[in-house]
A = this chain, B = another copy of it.
């Protein structure tokens, strides 16, 4: 009998542990090792090819990566036409589209400048930067001129780290004191795993006020 009691107790314990683990694991589903880390910015990267022709490509594996010097990182696969352009010219621009240019931005990300003159196809206007050897888009509300300072191999992608030389904005997206107004900029987003672009919604509150609610 004692032996059966012991076995029963052990069985109960095991079941309890399995139940507790299943509750914990049940709250989150494992999706595996995938690049599902949203939200992702949508930036259009400007460069010159070896003939001096301007090219634009859309990238979302991007981000700000340093405050001083102000720098951004843009990850590109070696097969991309822009890869060789940026490596050769040691410069690129970041062009932030507003929702008005969602079509052109989708197109810039879907075809290669190796085969198509994307600027002719979209009718958008490249402007030669006077600060770096790369073109920016006249129509986009915010453009950032960068000189390439470092390249980092990660795997399928290479990170191009660009030091920001200047940021140029359309006046109508700026508030007083040249502060950016996100609702006037109307930039948009990419979510890995979703086939849509998403807009920027409204403010959900001042960061200072939000943190004060916890500190209180």
Contacts and interface: CB of A to CB of B under 8 A. Distances in A.
A157 interface: yes
Interface of A: 24, 27-41, 43, 60-73, 75, 77, 94, 96, 99, 102-107, 109-111, 121-122, 127, 138, 142-144, 150, 152, 154-157, 159, 161, 163-171, 174, 178-183, 185, 187-208, 210-211, 213-215
Contacts of A36: 142, 144, 167, 169, 180
29 contacts: A30-B167, A31-B167, A33-B164, A33-B165, A36-B169, A36-B180, A37-B43, A37-B64, A37-B72, A38-B96, A39-B39, A40-B41, A61-B66, A64-B75, A65-B75, A69-B155, A103-B210, A104-B214, A106-B214, A152-B159, A181-B194, A182-B196, A183-B198, A188-B204, A196-B203, A197-B205, A197-B210, A198-B201, A198-B204
A51 to B, nearest CB: 23
A178 B36 CA distance: 11
B33 A107 contact: no
Given A65-B61, A75-B65, A106 B211 contact: yes
Contact of A41 (B27, B41, B122, B197): B41
Given A30-B168, A66-B75, A214-B122, A37 B197 contact: no
B63 A62 contact: yes
Contact of A65 (B73, B171, B187): B73
A102 B30 contact: no
Given A67-B156, A154-B65, A194-B179, A73 B73 contact: yes
A68 B153 CA distance: 11
- How many copies, total? 2
Given A37-B94, A71-B154, A197-B204, A110 B61 contact: no
A196 B211 CA distance: 11
Nearest to A193: B180
